[in-house]
Amino acid sequence: MPRLVRGSVVVHRRRCGKPTCRCADGERLHEAPVLSYSERGRTRFLMLPAADVAAVRAAVERYRTRKGRLEAEGDAGLAALVAALAGRRARPR
Ligand SMILES: [Zn+2]
């Protein structure tokens, strides 16, 4: 299992299409865990075997944490750059 996975684990609920199946009443639908992710602007889904769901959730969570930290670092760097350049401009030459 990869350490980091981009996307979200969601549960798809749907009918299988068999007219005699329990899901045909539209209430007792089949539930399937999938990884939802975007690729070139399109949302795609990857069916997840039940045995892998927990590990994929954990990898998605690690990705979010890492991404949040990276964005915070990038924001801090941007703020520092803006402040440094503004200070340089304010200084007399
Ligand atoms: Zn069904």
Distance 2 CA to ligand 1 centre (A): 32
3-state SS of the chain is CCCCCCCEEEEEEECCCCCCCHHHHCCCCEEEEEEEEEECCEEEEEECCHHHHHHHHHHHHHHHHHHHHHHHHHHHHHHHHHHHHHHHHHCCC
Per residue of the chain (93 residues), give pLDDT as tens. 999 999 999 999 999 999 999 999 999 999 999 999 999 999 999 999 999 999 999 999 999 999 999 999 999 999 999 999 998 876 665
Is 53:32 a contact under the CB 8 Å cutoff?
A: no
Domains of the chain: total: 1
Instruction: Quote the domain boundaries for residue 21.
Output: 8-90
pLDDT of amino acid 87: 87
- HSE value, Cβ hemisphere, 13 Å, CA-based, for 48: 25
pTM for the model stands at 0.77
Distance 42 CA to ligand 1 centre (A): 27
* 3 occurs within a structural domain: no
Distance 77 CA to ligand 1 centre (A): 53
Distance 25 CA to ligand 1 centre (A): 9
Distance 27 CA to ligand 1 centre (A): 11
